[in-house]
Amino acid sequence: MVYWLQVSSTASTASTYLPLALQVLIAVGLVAFLMVATHLLGPRRKTSDKLQNFTSGIESHGDARQPMAIKYFLTAILFVLFDVEVIFFYPYAVNFKGLGWDGFWAVALFVGFFLCGFIYIIKKGALQWED
């Protein structure tokens, strides 16, 4: 069965996309089936208790739209940024001998750009938590 779905790499016909088309078709069909099934089989009792916001038993008070310090979001974005930077080091670490000096200088330039951004963040005081 597996060999039936595999075609030689030199052939570029519509049949080479058959496995991908089958996977997309099955995924879309499953999602559509599950959405229709839950709509048809799910309960339809709308009571006043079910229409209220769920608060885990804690009485809500105040407005949910209070101003929040941007430093929390900035720290989260910086974490994601530097986490993605580390992810880009993995291909270099695997192929560092094959990349040679050109690869080394490319990674050094990459790290240099991030260090410039990090120094800028430090100088602006973005990581100072005085609040």
pLDDT at 12 over 70: no
Burial of 92 (0-12, 13-18, 19+ CB in 10 A): middle
Task: State which residues form the domain around 87.
Answer: 70-124
Domain for residue 58, yes or no? no
Domain for residue 110, yes or no? yes
Cα dihedral: 61, 66, 71, 73 (round 10): 80
What value does the mean pLDDT of the chain take? 81
CB 114 within 8 A of CB 71: no
Give the separation between CA 109 and CA 15, rounded to whole angstroms. Answer: 43
Over residues 92-127, the pLDDT tens digits come to: 888 888 888 998 999 899 889 888 888 888 888 777
Which amino acid, residue 8?
S
Over residues 29-47, the pLDDT tens digits come to: 999 999 999 999 987 888 8
* pTM greater than 0.75: no
Q: Do 31 and 77 belong together in one domain?
A: no
pLDDT at 14 over 90: no
Average pLDDT of span 81-90? 84
Helix 96-124 / helix 70-94 crossing angle, nearest 10 deg: 160
Nearest to 37 by CA among 47, 29, 46, 25: 29
Domain for residue 51, yes or no? no
Domain for residue 106, yes or no? yes
Domain for residue 107, yes or no? yes
Domain for residue 50, yes or no? no
- Identify the band that residue 91 occupies on the pLDDT scale cut at 50, 70 and 90: confident
Q: Do 119 and 76 belong together in one domain?
A: yes
Over residues 59-82, the pLDDT tens digits come to: 767 777 777 777 777 788 888 888
Number of domains in the chain: 2
Q: Do 74 and 34 belong together in one domain?
A: no
Q: What is the pLDDT of residue 29?
A: 98
Domain for residue 53, yes or no? no
Domain for residue 131, yes or no? no
Nearest to 103 by CA among 88, 90, 92: 92
